[in-house]
Amino acid sequence: MLQDLYEFKKDLGKRGVFFCLSGPISQNLVAEIGTTLEQKMTLEETSKATVLRVFSTVVENAQNIIRYSDEKEEELSLGIIAVGHKNSHYFVLCGNMVENTKITRLTDKLTKLQDMNRDELKKEYRKRRREPPPPDSIGAGLGFIDMAKKASEPIEFDFKKINEDFSFFSMKIVI
């Protein structure tokens, strides 16, 4: 395993990933991640607007993992978050386990957002803000819409079936 760690690091670099965290995610950790990303991106002379978009996307994904991951280690939710830069754009990858019963609902939400242009996303966001939170949501249900508004491309997502009960949900947001 030790010999493979360097190869893993090189592979991340080839893919443009400069930050990766896999394991338990907590609110305290999210704040530290944000500080680190902000410092790195500021050193690269990234615009404040882009730094804010990347940071808020990382925070939203971390909150989704904390709230909705179906893989837990005692009280902590498990998942993965990665941030990278490729083709003059930053990207945020995230993933976590979900029950297979949630796949259709998530697919419907994300597919609908993929088909919307920027104006439609803004309208949808304003509409959802006036409505009560969805019954299956811990938050206001605006996270995916907000990320889609900040993205420069439609959100990509995938589900990898793990067993009869669970799949691994992966998402990519390009900023």
DSSP assignment of 37-91: HHHHHHHTT--HHHHHHHHHHHHHHHHHHHHH-S-EETTEEEEEEEEEEETTEEE
What proportions of the chain, in percent to the nearest 5, are helix, strand and coil? 50, 25, 25
Q: One digit per residue, pLDDT tens: the chain, 175 residues? A: 778 999 999 999 999 999 999 999 998 898 889 889 999 999 999 999 999 999 999 999 999 999 999 999 988 999 999 999 999 999 999 999 999 999 999 999 999 999 999 999 999 999 988 887 766 666 656 899 999 999 999 999 999 999 999 999 999 999 9
**pTM for this prediction:** 0.91
The residue with tokens 């508004």 is 149
Question: Taking a C-beta distance cutoff of 8 angstroms, is the pair 124, 116 a contact?
Answer: yes
Domain over 25-174 is classified CATH 1.10.1240 = no
How many alpha carbons lie under 13 Å from residue 99 in its C-beta half-sphere?
A: 6
CA distances from 34 to 85, 91, 137 (A): 16, 15, 24
- Structural element, H or E, at residue 1: none
CA–CA distance, 155 with 163 (Å, rounded to integer): 25
CA–CA distance, 147 with 75 (Å, rounded to integer): 27
Question: Taking a C-beta distance cutoff of 8 angstroms, is the pair 38, 52 a contact?
Answer: no
Break the chain into its structural domains and give their ranges: 25-174
